[in-house]
Every structure is written in structure tokens, then in C-alpha cells.
A and B are shown apart, each in its own frame.
Chain A
């Protein structure tokens, strides 16, 4: 196992293989970054929770779309102005709705999304429990006739080619 991990690590270390490993990718340009590392870190964190509104499934942190760039700038302005992470997410949510949040909120529109895995897990659990309660599948032992038939198959001389 250790060798396997080592091999994988070496594979990742090869630059030509970067496609196969999860390399962090972001689109933040140096001129966008805030001077204060703590604020910049918060801006990055908020950006990772916001979905680029024209690229379906990228965060604004990863997206090179122009609107994502402008949203990153806005996030940094708000961070600098002293807004909390939650306030920034709330603002974006108030403009673009659920779409913009990569972690959808628990609302009447999204409760199925959130609860479905739990419900499916519970149904599966119930199915397993009821099966265990019934004591599983008991197979009756072979009758003497069946034993005889089985023996005749074995003695019939059919050989696998």
C-alpha cells in the first residue's frame, strides 16, 4: 500500500501528468489580489462558494470569464469594506438567487435536494432491516430424489472440453 501511495505521489509530481491529479486551479490575477493576506484569504474563501453565472459549474475563483473577474473584484471590495463572508454571500444571493451559491440553501425549493440522500439511506436501511428480521433465505435440504439426480449428473461422464 505504501508503495502504491508513493507511486501515485510520483505520478502527480510529474508535470506532464497534471491532468490526472487534482491540482488547485484558480483564475485570480496578481493585480486583483488584496495586499492584506488575511483579507485575501477570506476573499478566496468566499469566491470558492460562488458560482460563475455564465459557466455552469465553475466557481468565480476558477473562472476566467469577465463577469467572474468583476465578481471577484466586488467580493474583495466588500471584504475590504468590512462585510462578513455571510453578508457577501447574502448580497450575491439577493442578486442572482440560488444559482450563484455552490452550496444551495435549505429552502422549500431545495429541500428535496438536501433530504433525498437521507431518505434513500433510510429506505435502504429499512429494506435491510426487514430482510434480516425475516431471517434471510432458508433453503430446504435436498430430498433423496434430488440427491440421486445430482449424482447421476456427476456420473454421466460429461467432461468439459
Chain B
């Protein structure tokens, strides 16, 4: 710019400048949200899980037929008065294979009755799964049409719930029970609930 070019003479008062910072602030805030999510993923926080609305509400009623070879199915009325762990599984579910050794260990420890709900499976495949890998379940019910699964708000297998003596859902494990989750979270919770009147 040379001297000969006159500056615009209209020195109209400029408005406040801070509103121009709003988009920047919004961008930074958004970046913060994304960063938090990223760190959540790194720290192993389950972000795809649907938070259960069923915590501290009564377990749904169910009455499920047994697998062939057993005469005891799974009926919610018959399970009251004790703390129990209920596990949704299926022979079609790879993560259930991964979880299975932990369930076997839980059965061996014998601290809590472990009820299995064979979800969206055929009895043959369910039985084959158990005969191949061992049967950790105290009792099993078949849920081929997701009646109990929808009642428990289950979206994916495996999922497990702790139900207390009054039939109230007190804990949900989305995904497989790992040895660490059993030792650090689930077993202590069960012990505490068993101590309740």
C-alpha cells in the first residue's frame, strides 16, 4: 500500500470483538468432548453399552423350558429368596466361548447359584456347546424367542445380572465376565448382598 491510496475515511465504530470468539470456543468445547471419549476408549470404558435402566428394579418374570435331558427349567418365581447370578449365552456367541472358563470357575467356587439362559439357540446346539465345554450352570432355561432377553433389556450376549434376595436387579455385567471383574466387582457385590437380610 502506498501513501497515495487514502484509507477509508469512514471510521465507523467497530462492534464488540468478543462474539467472534464464540465459534472458536464452541470448537474447543467440541474438541474437549471428543478427547474425553477417546481417553474413555483408551481407559477401557465401555461406550457402546446401552446403560441399563433396570438397576434396582424388580427382575422381570420369566418361565423358561429346560434343555432336553433336564426336567428343571427356569422360573423366576422359584428363584426368590436367594442372591443369584443369571447369564445370557448362546452357542452362536463367540464371546460366550471366551467367557466360558470364568463361568466354570464361578461354578467351581460355588459362592452363588449361576443360572443360564440359552438365548436364541436350538436345544441341540445349546447342549452340544455345554457337552463340549462343560456345564457351569445350576439350572438352564431356553429363551428361543427373546422373551426373557427383552425383559432384561439384553441386546448382545453375553450379559449377566445379579439379582438379590428380594428379586431386585442389583448389577449388570455387559459383555463377558472376566476373571478380574469377577474377583474385583461381582463376587464382592454378591457377598455384600448375601449378607443383607
Contact = CB atoms under 8 A, between A and B. Distances in A.
Contacts of B151: 95
A67 B149 contact: yes
B9 interface: yes
B6 A146 contact: yes
Contacts of A73: 145
Interface size class of B (residues with CB under 8 A): 20 to 34
A12 interface: no
A140 B10 contact: yes
Interface size class of A (residues with CB under 8 A): 20 to 34
Given A54-B155, A95-B152, A139 B50 contact: no
B9 A95 contact: no
A139 B10 contact: yes
Most buried by A among B12, B51, B120, B150: B150
A136 to B, nearest CB: 11
A149 B10 contact: no
B148 to A, nearest CB: 11
Nearest to B146: A70
A146 B50 CA distance: 67
Interface string A4-22: 0000000000000000000
Nearest to B52: A97
Given A54-B155, A70-B146, A71-B146, A143 B54 contact: no
B21 interface: no
A107 to B, nearest CB: 11
B158 to A, nearest CB: 14
B65 interface: no
Interface of B: 4-6, 9-10, 12, 50-54, 57, 60, 120, 145-147, 149-153, 155-156
Give 4 nearest A-B pairs by CB, closest first.
A70-B146, A140-B10, A97-B53, A53-B155
